[in-house]
Amino acid sequence: MKLRTFKKGIHPGEYKEFSHDKKIEQMPLPEQVYIPLQQHIGAPCEPLVKKGDTVKTGQVIGRSSAYVSAPVHASITGIVKAVDKFPHPLGMRVEMVHIERTGDEDDWELLSIPENWEKAPRVELIKLINEAGIVGMGGAAFPTHVKLNPPADKKIDSFILNGVECEPYLTSDHRLMVEYTDQILAGMNIIMSLLKVENGYIGIENNKPDAIEMMSKRVKDLGYSFQVVPLEVKYPQGAEKMLIESVLHRKVPAGGLPMDVGVVVNNVATAKAVADAVLEGKPLVERVTTVTGDGIVHPKNLLTRIGAPFNDLVEFCGGVKDETTMVFMGGPMMGQAQYDLSVPVIKAAGGIVCNTSKMITMVEHFPCIRCGACVDACPMYLLPTKLAKLTEHKKYEEAEKLGIQNCIECGSCAFSCPAHIPLVQWLRVGKMRVSELKRKQKAS
């Protein structure tokens, strides 16, 4: 049977064998956590605590009054040691709340939940999801309460649960689907109720047959009407626009959003977080993170607290091997190289990938040979080499006209380029410059 997929894209090595069969292990409570006050797209939070304060697990420690934002919570019970700037996985120093654990167990501060969520007013459930600090946990980190409350003129008729996890190495979503199946499906049911849609799809790539089998079985056992959709293995199928094309054959217009074609997409970890909040009153203080690669002694999938230093996770996995040369947060396609493993796990941290020089190929760049491989690979139908050249020559307005802002930074262009031109890096710079230019034009 021909599996559904989208047009274009690439097929990088999967490398999921390091951890795909490793059951999720609960990490010990960390001694220290560093909670960034912004872990989402939107307005940063203001700290609600100060040095010396005592905090409980689940207590709100940062909040913004802006609609597009999400509060942050203490992930352990302890004492606030500082509210200051610390190293962040994105390579900068940002404001965080440093908490030192007291005691060996959590003293929880849970959210108030309805006795029966199915009878609760929709506005209260949306508020509860906001209070829980839930954001897109597939990497986008967009506040979930905003996504579940689309404008009245956007008619939503379908929901897609994203279980693709197309990024090489990462297996946290895979293990979640196998081990937390019922919680994920309960979260999907809540989300679809809030969106008032009846068409629910679960997209899973065909390299996770146990996840497809488990999700299909439990959907049937629990009486849900959701449809599990096995997909061809292709990168970047986990991107929302690609997934919508694969599952529903709908094309999100350039510059548009999934809601423009009547669809909302959420990651499986996000759905579980929604169930945890609505059914148990638990704010988002932990997540599953894959620690993997040929540079880690014992690859694992770990349930860890937000704010735990990368070092804690790496040490729990036996440490990095002497020959390890590179560590990423996220996968190698869209992840961020790390220079300091004291940085904390954030809500969007699906994986820590440790590689040796055997897996990292140092290459020399050559001039473009006009082969068109990047154009063939780009799932957004862009002209990567031309956009890179326009950026290099600072012709940002022309780059904008050619759609550079539609680039999803998946890296397919750079991966396919035989001349090893860092195309996606140029496009990232170009997008940033175009945004700066537009801000200046708006301000003048």
Amino acid 430: pLDDT: 93
- Confidence category of residue 374, pLDDT binned at 50, 70, 90: very high
Mean pLDDT of the chain: 95
CA angle 286/287/290 to nearest 5° reads 140
Amino acid 138: pLDDT: 87
pLDDT surpasses 90 at 133: yes
Amino acid 91: pLDDT: 86
Q: How many residues are present in the chain?
A: 444
- The structure's pTM equals 0.94
Cβ-based burial of 419 (10 A; exposed 0-12, middle 13-18, buried ≥19): middle
Q: Is 22 left (phi over 0), alpha (psi -120 to 50) or beta?
A: beta
> Sign of dihedral through CA atoms 37, 76, 171, 317?
positive
- Confidence category of residue 360, pLDDT binned at 50, 70, 90: low
Region 100-114: mean pLDDT is: 96
Region 61-71: mean pLDDT is: 95
Q: Is 367 left (phi over 0), alpha (psi -120 to 50) or beta?
A: beta
Residues 255-299: pLDDT tens digits?
899 999 999 999 999 999 999 999 999 999 999 999 999 999 999
Amino acid 186: pLDDT: 98
pLDDT surpasses 90 at 42: no
Region 416-427: mean pLDDT is: 92
The percent of residues in the chain predicted with pLDDT above 90, rounded, is 89
